[in-house]
Amino acid sequence: MTYDNLLNRFLTYTRVNTRSDESSETTPTTQAQADFALTILKPEMKSIGLQNVHYLENGYLVGTLPANGNFPYKIGFIAHMDTADFNAEGVNPQIVDNYNGEVIQLGQTDFVLDPKEFPNLNNYLGQTLITTDGTTLLGSDDKSGIAEIMTAIDYLVKHPEIEHGEIRVGFGPDEEIGRGADQFDVEDFDVDFAYTVDGGPLGELQYETFSAAAAEIDFVGRNVHPGTAKNQMVNALQLAMDFHGQLPQEDRPEKTEGYQGFYHLLSLKGTVDAAHASYIIRDFDDEAFARRKDLMQKITDKMNAHLGAERVQLQIYDQYYNMRKIIEKDMTCVKLAKKVMENLAIEPIIEPIRGGTDGSKISFMGLPTPNLFAGGENMHGRFEFVSLETMQRAVDVIIGIVCFKQ
């Protein structure tokens, strides 16, 4: 179905810089997210007919659309306001009508979307694409989700003849830095189950994520003149390289797919005297996840034993867990979304998320929260794009879920 306000709503949202900031200790981590919630989303939520719209200390903006029929479930829809760690200032989306399969020039830059490099473009022939101008990200992750949820609510309010159950809407902060759902208030949200509208291409329905951990490693060196360094110098950067060299060489993001886990070196900085490395660890299987963390500890212990001092200092902390462990106890939310997609002639793509969503943490708080597609492709950078037709189908699915009767 065509929704008149969807495109303009999405473009309005994308032009607001709501990038999160991992170095900040506030909630939200940037004032821009709070301003976006309070000055743009909150008035709009009220104007389209959501009730009890309120902004919580945890950074979530929540509203309710009461049921107008007899339905068995109260259902929530969640999307995040922040965008990823890429330039988000001056977002200037460009519209490509009736995409013809050719190279798309991104604004006045030297960057292009080329189907030879991005074959996923071939899935969108004849559709309307929204791209960047090559200087920023687009913000489809997750402003597509916000726009789709708002459009679905707007449509239902304007069509009171369509019966639906009670709906709760929640827009939250700081998902991109893994903190947004830490303080999510399940009791205040008060639904039977929810969905994050935060996925990629048409049909994605996901209830498995990585289990995730972060590793921070300090390497303590000893710097002396290189001319007299034999048996004296301990090069902290070399220690970092030695550590990395003992990790499985095939277990990297660029060499893995599907259910394969990995170690990912995010950053390495330092000098001969001191160095620091940051890793993330990912796996779907609990035992494999534990083995990955254990291997890093064993490498640390082995190197320190050889060096005769605690020159490798490892800290590992868990970030989130595979939400399948919670959701598979009651698959109602997954079965419902799958049935709705099938009724809409959308082929459900049920596959693991090689990443995480707020749904991971929220599910472990006791609220089953799988993930629905929102349409974004090539997310988190200048090559990001989204299909308007896919966004429209996401709205169809949201409406279908809340209107479904057994």
Q: Which two tokens stand for residue 32?
A: 């821009």
Between helices 236-245 and 286-307, what is the axis angle to 10°? 140
Place of tokens 């490099």: 117
The yes-or-no answer on residue 82 being catalytic is yes
Active-site residue identified among 21, 141, 166, 175: 175
Residue linked to tokens 């002639």:
345
Q: Is the peptide bond before 154 cis (omega within 30 degrees of 0)?
A: no
* Size (the chain), residues: 406
Helix/strand/coil for 219 = strand
Peptide bond into 201 cis (omega under 30): no
Residue 213 β-bridge partners = 281, 318
Determine whether 257 is an active site residue: no
Torsion of CA 87, 93, 99, 101, to 10 degrees: -20
> What are the start-end ranges of the H helices in 317-364?
324-327, 332-343, 358-364
8-state DSSP, 307 = H
Burial class, 79, CB count within 10 angstroms (exposed 0-12 / middle 13-18 / buried 19+): buried
The residues facing 380 across adjacent strands are none
The token pair that represents 30 in the structure block? 């940037």
State phi, psi for 401 to the nearest 5 degrees. -65, -45
Q: Which helix (H) or strand (E) holds 61?
A: strand 61-65
Among the listed residues 21, 82, 141, 198, the single catalytic one is: 82
C-alpha span between 18 and 15 (Å, rounded) = 9
Active site residues: 82, 175
